[in-house]
Amino acid sequence: MKSQHEFYPADSVPWTEDDVPGVTQRVLSHDPDDGTLTRLACWAPGTTTDGVIRHEYFEEVYLLEGTLTDLTLDQTFGPGEYAARHPGMPHGPYRTDDGCTMLEIRYNVRK
């Protein structure tokens, strides 16, 4: 089960490196056993990912600041835009010229 918290300042959580070079994260709540999490992810300007992404969890993403370009779709998304992805849904690769910050929520889908 994801960790439980009453209101607290999100900026009290330190930024840590993600597995993707150029991306840092503030993990706000997570379950280390099943990988579910809620985080803020900050992509540095010029960050680019390689290849199409697929994962085994349901993912919701809300862009807070900056822009993110899906290179497959040749489409750029900005603040206030939202994505909901089922497990296995192909997306990306991505590039951000000016950097971006997003709220990301992952849910483990049990069968």
Q: Summarize pLDDT for 42-56 with one digit per residue, the tens.
A: 999 999 999 999 998
Any domain includes 77 = yes
Domain containing 18 — which CATH number? 2.60.120.10
Residue type, 106: R
Q: What is the dihedral of CA 59, 63, 66, 69, to 10 degrees?
A: 50
More confident of the two residues 84 and 5: 84
User: In the chain, how many domains are there?
Assistant: 1
Any domain includes 2 = no
What per-residue confidence (pLDDT) applies to 61? 98
Range of the domain at 32: 10-108
**How far apart (Å, rounded) are the C-alpha atoms in residues 47 and 22?**
6
Any domain includes 89 = yes
Q: Summarize pLDDT for 82-100 with one digit per residue, the tens.
A: 999 999 999 999 999 999 9
pTM over 0.85: yes
